[in-house]
Amino acid sequence: MYQKLTILIFLTLLLILPYQAPSSPEITVAEGVIFLGVDYSNWQEEELRNWLPTLQELCYIEPLDAQHDKTNQAIIPGRSGWQLQIEENILAIISSPPNTNLQAQWLEIQPEVSLEDLPLLPIRHGNTEDQSVTFLINVAWGEEFVPGILNTLANKNIAATWFLVGIWVKANPELTRQIAETQELANHGYSDRYLTKDLSTTKMAEDLTATSNLIESLTGTRTKFFSPHKGEYNITLLEISESTNHQLILWSIDTIDWRDPSPEEIYERVLDKLHPGATILMHPRENTLKALPALVDSIQQKGYSIIPLSELLNPSPPQECP
């Protein structure tokens, strides 16, 4: 009788008392989890869900269309846009072990107008919406100054884009490998002959391909940019560049260092003409090497970053956000 009464009381309580699900502990971010340069230690999931949409807006990069620069008969490249992926990043943050520096997950947004939608023309500079510039270093001689330039760039944590001549690469394989360790490699033709004057259409294609093959055999890198000697080109060379998977590159600022100006003249020439998206042409010369440290410092003090050409033409998503 007593047992039946106990069961009856228990069933009655189940009917009259509200059901409460067992509470689950709040999910908390581990200590030392860094995301886009910010420490999210001990943040709760709800806080992340309230904050990430705001961070998405702060970090959003609008895509920019490529444009036809009719004045200079060139193409101004566009760039992809980038948007944080909220759910993917929240999951990564809350599931990361302590002391993790997370790589953000982004959605790339393609511009409506790309290079393929515009006339076949060279690129002279990057998009002027970005506070970035690139050093283009043409190498057909001056190997005695290459290590010094590499040391300066390494000390400043900078990568330039080096346009190498094929016969120079063949004569300097170890230097080529040394450049490839920290820098971006590009194609400057196989010799110092002017392609548009001295070579047939077939030879032009062979010239570019031979240089690209040689660089790849030494470094594992396939070149995707080509700059002709003295900037001379015609429609045939543009078509050959495209057929060999190279974008033809010119420049917007010329140090004219091959005339052996003083370091001060090199410095002033670049700073006087500096602009967003600038492509700055130089060579491995003694006075270029001497001018480089102060030049880098002044460019950066003006708020510019110095990045390889591939990043200038289509920047990666930011590593930090405001």
- On the question of pLDDT at 104 being above 50, the answer is yes
From CA 241, how far away is CA 247, in angstroms rounded? 6
- On the question of pLDDT at 47 being above 70, the answer is yes
Q: What is the pLDDT of residue 317?
A: 84
- On the question of pLDDT at 246 being above 90, the answer is yes
Q: What is the mean pLDDT of residues 260-287?
A: 97
From CA 317, how far away is CA 105, in angstroms rounded? 9
Q: What is the pLDDT of residue 192?
A: 73
Q: What is the pTM of this model?
A: 0.84
| Domain 132-313 superfamily per CATH | Glycoside hydrolase/deacetylase (3.20.20.370)
- On the question of pLDDT at 222 being above 60, the answer is yes
Name the more confident of 8 and 110.
110
Q: What is the pLDDT of residue 12?
A: 55
Largest CA distance in the chain: 113
Q: What is the pLDDT of residue 280?
A: 98
Q: What is the pLDDT of residue 15?
A: 55
List every span in the chain annotated with CATH 3.20.20.370: 132-313
Q: CA quadruple 92, 55, 322, 318: dihedral positive or negative?
A: positive
H or E element that contains 280? strand 279-282
Q: What is the pLDDT of residue 194?
A: 78
Q: What is the mean pLDDT of residues 135-163?
A: 97
- On the question of pLDDT at 105 being above 50, the answer is yes
Q: What is the mean pLDDT of residues 39-67?
A: 94
Decide: 159 and 183 in contact? Cβ < 8 Å.
yes
Q: What is the pLDDT of residue 23?
A: 44
Q: What is the mean pLDDT of residues 153-180?
A: 98
Name the more confident of 302 and 320.
302
Of 7-16, 22-31, 184-193, 209-218, the range with the lowest mean pLDDT is 7-16
Mean per-residue pLDDT of the chain: 91
Cβ neighbours for 135, distance < 8 A, ≥ 6 positions apart: 158, 160, 161, 280, 282, 306
Name the more confident of 52 and 196.
52
The confidence band for 19, taking pLDDT boundaries of 50, 70 and 90, is very low
Q: What is the pLDDT of residue 8?
A: 53
